[in-house]
Amino acid sequence: MTFGFQLHQGTVNGPRLGTLTTPHGAVSTPTFMPVATRGMLRGPWPDRLRPMGVEMMLANSFHLFARPGVESIEAMGGLHKMMAWDGPVLTDSGGFQAFSLASISKLNDDGWKIAHPVHGAMVDWTPKMAFEVQASLRPDVAMILDECPAEPRDRTKVAAAVKRTLRWAKMQRDMHDARGGVDSGQAQFGIVQGGVFEDLRQECARELSAMEFDGYAIGGVSVGEGHDAMMDGVRHSTSDLPKEKARYLMGVGTPLDLVESVARGIDMFDCVYPTRCGRYGTFLSDEGNQHIHNARFKNDPLPLLPGCTCDACATGVPRGALRAGLKEREMLPASLLAHHNLHYLVNLMKQMRSAIADGSFEDLRARINAVYRPPKP
C-alpha cells in the first residue's frame, strides 16, 4: 500500500491510536511533525531526529519554491535527499504563508498574488501552482491550497473563505485524481476552514468529506483566538470528518494544546513552537515552561534539565553557560534548547500513545493541564 491510515483504537472525537502508512515508512499516531520550513530545522540536526523519536517532518512548498527552487531541489536528488531525511514528509501548500504575509499578498478568486520572498516580483500562487509544485517536490503528503481567513470572527469573510476553499479543494482533488491519486506516491489532504463558526466548520468538513480526500486537516486555528476557542474549532471540525481518515491540526502546539487536541480525536500536529521557544530561551519541563534568562540560572552548573535523556542535556553544558551564551547570541544555546524542546514534545506524544493504549490517558491529560493550563484571571 502506498498510503493509508489504520485506526487501531479510539472514537470519532476521543483519543485515537493509529498508523499512517506512507511510501517512506509508517508513522504512529498521534504524532508531532517538526517544522523544517525551508527543508531544515532551526537547531536540531537531521541525524538526531530518528533517535529522538521523530517519524514525520513538515516542509513548506511555497518557501521551498522561493528558495532553493524546485529545479535545485530536483538537481540535489529530491526533497527527502535535500532534507537528509528518509522518512515521511508533509508539505504545506502556502495558504498560511499568504495569510501570514498578508502585507505582501493579495487574494482573488483564482489564488494569491504574492511577492516572491527572494526577489520581490509578484507570483501567481494558485491552486494549480501549489498542486504542481508539490507534485514536483514529491512529499508523502501534499496539502491543498486553501484560504485561511485573517479575521476568524468576521462571518462574512469566513463564509467567503470557506466557499473559496471548497472550490479550490475540488479543483485540486480533480488534479490529484488525474495524476493517479495515492498511486502517484503522494497523498492529498483537504483543509477545514470556518473560523469560530460551528455551522461553517461543519459545512466545510461535510463538503470536503464528500470529495473523499486521503486525510483531513483543520486550518485557521491557533491564529490568536485563545485556547478555548481553538478547542471549539477542533470539535466543530472533527464531528463531520470520517472516522477512518487521519486528522491533522495545523500549527499546534504547546503541551496543553497537544493533549487537549488528542483528547478530541486529532492524529497529527506540526508547530514551530519547540524550536522558536528555544531561540528565545524557553525550555519545556514537567514543571512547565522555564526561562533560561531567569537570574536564578546565572551560576547554575546543572545541565538544562537534569534527568532528561536528550542529546542537548547529555552534552552537560551548564544552564549558566547556556544563559550567558544566549544573551550574547551564540548559536549553540539556541540549538540545544530547540533540540531539548523538540525531544520533550516528541516524548510527550509517545507518552500519550502509551497512555491511550493502557487506558491512563485521562491521568496524563490531568497532569499536563495541572502544569500548563494558565490560572484563571
Long-range contacts of 349-356 (CB under 8 A, 24+ apart): 349/30, 349/31, 349/32, 349/53, 349/258, 350/53, 352/15, 352/30, 352/258, 352/259, 352/262, 353/17, 353/28, 353/29, 353/30, 356/9, 356/10, 356/15, 356/16, 356/17, 356/262
What residues are labeled active site? 92, 270
One character per residue 131-170, x = contact with Zn ion (rule: CB under 5 A): ----------------------------------------
Pick the closer one to Zn ion by CB: 166 or 308: 308
Residue closer to Zn ion (CB basis): 279 or 340: 340
CB of 318 to Zn ion, least distance (A): 13
Q: Which of residues 230-269 bind Zn ion (CB under 5 A)?
A: none
Q: 162 vs 308, which CB is nearer to Zn ion?
A: 308
Q: Does 130 bind Zn ion (CB under 5 A)?
A: no
Beta strands per DSSP E along 304-377: none
Nearest Cα to Cα of residue 86 among 12, 177, 24: 24
Contacts of 82 (CB under 8 A, 6+ apart): 39, 68, 73, 76
At its nearest, how many Å lie between Zn ion and the CB of residue 150?
Answer: 37
The x, y and z cell numbers of residue 239, run together, are 464531528
Three-class secondary structure assignment of 78-100: CHHHHHCCCCCEEEECCHHHHHH
Q: Tell me if residue 75 falls in helix, strand or coil.
A: helix
Q: How far is the CB of 86 from Zn ion (least distance, A)?
A: 25
Cell numbers describing residue 132 = 504542481
Q: Which is nearer to Zn ion, 14 or 316 (CB)?
A: 316
Task: In whole angstroms, give the CA distance from residue 264 to residue 13.
Answer: 5
Nearest approach, Cβ of residue 119 and Zn ion (Å): 40
- Contact between 342 and Zn ion by CB under 5 A: the answer reads no
With respect to Zn ion, which residue has the nearer C-beta, 246 or 284? 284
Residues 301-340 that bind Zn ion (CB under 5 A): 305, 308, 310, 313, 340
> Could you tell me the smallest distance in angstroms from the CB atom of residue 364 to Zn ion?
19
| 11-50 residues near Zn ion, rule: CB under 5 A | none
- Contacts to Zn ion by CB under 5 A: 305, 308, 310, 313, 340
